[in-house]
A and B are shown apart, each in its own frame.
Chain A
């Protein structure tokens, strides 16, 4: 057996749900230690990042889900902190009936991943900005994530239940390196989504607002402008919206 074949075999032994080759390995009990260590570490980081999702699904279900991920789409990232992201991407792309109970589990998982991710996002290399203006192109902090939700997973009742909430959550990192969240109603969500897209599409704030109003079928009237002003103030004072891109 070549070295590459040996390494592939050990990887299978560590990651498969039922390690069929383990029993035939010389010193199987000792290789079993590696299986335990590898799996414990991979499980642990998913549990840390997705603590509330795990609570919602139940420990056993969550564990089975991670086991299935390891067996079918083994981790590829070298960065330990990115493992929960790979797991969530797999869950999102895979038929996972267990994610249907409770109904909010997928929203919770995406929200928790956003919280986990903004803490690590690298602010170095962010583009230079100037003061915010409606003519400028908006620029958001890289340490922020927009999550569409059908449930208000940022808040839980004492019994663990979560209310339905049609909107979005804007998760961001504070100056003190903690993650916080702004709830966005459907109109605010449409505005923020357009503003965030405006940065890469090189559209002005005004254009973004017009597109959001059109998509929502609302007029740009006094009421919308007042609401928009309040929203922008919140985004700017929290540093989620950094200003506008330098020309």
Chain B
């Protein structure tokens, strides 16, 4: 069975150029799959392409988009959708995911993930775009909950209800970013477990965890540039017990540490993953 035909499960790592050379040389077995951003590879050759080709030989690949944000109100780029569909087929991903946010305005590409207001109009817009992207790529499609800093609703759990609304309208899947739930819960004062309880477990296909930065004023910023904190590890265990066995990605995009440090995080995540699955099998407390 080729790597492409294997199913992504357990703990994966994002393929990033800053760590790719050593990561690919060592091909650590603890990493079970890799995630790539199509925008970094579509229409690109050279070193990036060579890294992707090597990764595909070794691991199943899942894809996660950055530039087709589901809350964007601008027309869907059909040419890019064709390129994306071709790329997803080439790497053999089991599904594709994008962010439930917006990333453009007035014709400008902002190259960031900006929060949608938790309104009916935004839910309709996102659901409509979700459906059109899913049709264009002809593949299972999931959206990711994002972190945000400017309040968008009346209380923190409005975001969970907003996600549930989009899931309901689309019948689609969700990539549950546990770090984002945690960051938002701390910034807006809600119980992150209550958020996770509102997520229908059968709709979650994947999870993300990452580190975040705590400013002097206490505001948490989702940087993907620090180690995962203990609270997020703990919340991941809770989410896994709630959802079941879905692949979990360790995201590290900035200040990437030596490979040993990343693998130590992967090992800790693996233990949490295994413990959560055992707890589900033995009927141990699912919501401790």
- CA of A33 to CA of B222 in the docked complex: distance in angstroms? 12
B274 lies within 8 A of chain A by Cβ: no
A27 touches B150 (CB 8 A): yes
- CA of A181 to CA of B71 in the docked complex: distance in angstroms? 44
CB-defined contacts of A201 to chain B, threshold 8 Å: none
B149 touches A4 (CB 8 A): no
- CA of A31 to CA of B47 in the docked complex: distance in angstroms? 37
Closest residue of chain B to A81, judged by CB? B44
A137: min CB distance to chain B, Å? 22
With A78-B80, A79-B39, A120-B48 as known contacts, state yes or no: A3 contacts B108, CB within 8 Å: no
Interchain CB contact (< 8 A) of B46 among A15, A77, A120: A120
- CA of A27 to CA of B73 in the docked complex: distance in angstroms? 23
Chain B residues 52-92 with CB under 8 Å of chain A are 66-68, 71-73, 77, 80
CB-defined contacts of B28 to chain A, threshold 8 Å: none
Chain B residues 15-58 with CB under 8 Å of chain A are 39-40, 42-50
B114 touches A122 (CB 8 A): no
A236 lies within 8 A of chain B by Cβ: no
A177 touches B50 (CB 8 A): yes
Interchain CB contact (< 8 A) of A27 among B104, B125, B151: B151
B275 lies within 8 A of chain A by Cβ: no
With A7-B102, A79-B39 as known contacts, state yes or no: A15 contacts B108, CB within 8 Å: yes
Interchain CB contact (< 8 A) of A3 among B107, B121, B149: B121
CB-defined contacts of B71 to chain A, threshold 8 Å: 3, 7
Tell which of A35-43, A105-113, A213-221 binds the partner: A35-43
With A30-B149, A124-B45, A124-B49 as known contacts, state yes or no: A8 contacts B111, CB within 8 Å: no
CB-defined contacts of A31 to chain B, threshold 8 Å: 150
- CA of A7 to CA of B121 in the docked complex: distance in angstroms? 13
B149 touches A80 (CB 8 A): no
Interchain CB contact (< 8 A) of A79 among B43, B50, B102, B108: B43
Interchain CB contact (< 8 A) of B111 among A10, A80, A120: A80
How many A-B residue pairs lie within 8 Å, measured between CB atoms?
Answer: 115
B122 lies within 8 A of chain A by Cβ: yes
- CA of A218 to CA of B288 in the docked complex: distance in angstroms? 86
A141: min CB distance to chain B, Å? 10
B46 touches A173 (CB 8 A): yes
Closest residue of chain B to A123, judged by CB? B45
With A10-B114, A30-B151 as known contacts, state yes or no: A75 contacts B105, CB within 8 Å: no
A78 touches B73 (CB 8 A): no
- CA of A123 to CA of B45 in the docked complex: distance in angstroms? 6
CB-defined contacts of B221 to chain A, threshold 8 Å: 33
Q: Mark B90-123, 1 if CB is under 8 A from A, else 0.
A: 0000000000001011111111101011010110
B50 touches A38 (CB 8 A): no
Closest residue of chain A to B68, judged by CB? A78
Closest residue of chain A to B103, judged by CB? A78
CB-defined contacts of B110 to chain A, threshold 8 Å: 11, 14-15, 38, 75
A30: min CB distance to chain B, Å? 4
B18: min CB distance to chain A, Å? 12
Among A3, A15, A120, max chain B CB count under 10 A is at A3
CB-defined contacts of B49 to chain A, threshold 8 Å: 122, 124
Closest residue of chain B to A80, judged by CB? B111
A74 lies within 8 A of chain B by Cβ: yes
Interchain CB contact (< 8 A) of B112 among A34, A119, A122, A124: A34
The 4 closest A-B pairs by CB, nearest first: A11-B105, A74-B108, A7-B105, A78-B67
23 pairs from A and B in contact (CB 8 Å cutoff) = A3-B119, A4-B73, A7-B102, A8-B106, A12-B106, A14-B108, A14-B112, A15-B110, A33-B221, A34-B114, A34-B150, A37-B112, A76-B107, A78-B68, A79-B39, A118-B46, A119-B46, A119-B47, A120-B45, A122-B43, A122-B44, A123-B46, A143-B45
Chain B residues proximal to chain A, CB less than 8 Å: 39-40, 42-50, 66-68, 71-73, 77, 80, 102, 104-112, 114, 116-117, 119, 121-122, 125, 149-151, 219, 221
